Amino acid sequence: MKGANSDMGQDNTHPGNNGTGDEESPVDPGSPQRSALDAITKYRLIIGGIVLGVLILIGVVIWVLVGVLANHPAAVSTPGPATSTSRGPLPADVEAKDYQLGDCFADFDSSATTSKVVDCTTGHSAQLGAIFRYKAEDSFPGANALRDKGREICRDVMLNEASTKYALLQQNAYPSATSWDNGDRRVDCFIVVNSGNTLKESVLQK
Q: How far apart are CA 161 and CA 83, in angstroms?
A: 16
pLDDT confidence band for 52 (50 / 70 / 90): confident
pLDDT of 109 above 50: yes
pLDDT value of residue 195:
87
Provide, rounded to the nearest whole percent, the portion of the chain with pLDDT above 90: 55
Pairing verdict, β 104-106 and 114-118: antiparallel
Instruction: Using pLDDT thresholds of 50, 70 and 90, give the confidence band for residue 101.
Output: very high
> Quick one: pLDDT at residue 152?
96
Residue of 122, 118, 64, 115 lying closest to 93 (CA atoms)? 115
What integer is the mean pLDDT of 96-117?
Answer: 95
- Reference 81, options 109, 94, 108, 100; nearest CA is 100
Q: What percent of the chain has pLDDT over 70?
A: 68
User: Could you tell me which of 197, 155, 196 has the C-alpha nearest to residue 172?
Assistant: 155
150 vs 40, higher pLDDT: 150
Kind and range of the H or E element at 115?
Answer: strand 114-118
User: In this structure, is the dihedral angle defined by the CA atoms of residues 27, 33, 39 and 41, taken in order, positive or negative?
Assistant: negative
For position 139, what pLDDT does the model report?
97
Residue 199 has pLDDT above 80, yes or no: yes
Predicted local confidence at residue 203, as pLDDT: 97
Q: What integer is the mean pLDDT of 89-111?
A: 95
Considering the chain, what is the average pLDDT of its residues?
A: 78
CB contact set of 204 (below 8 Å; sequence gap of 6+): 82, 102, 127, 129, 157, 158, 159, 160, 191
Greater confidence (89 vs 13) lies with 89
Q: Given this model, what pLDDT does residue 74 score? A: 37
Residue 155 has pLDDT above 60, yes or no: yes
pLDDT digits (tens, 9 = 90+) for 60-99: 778 767 665 555 433 333 333 334 446 779 999 999 999 9
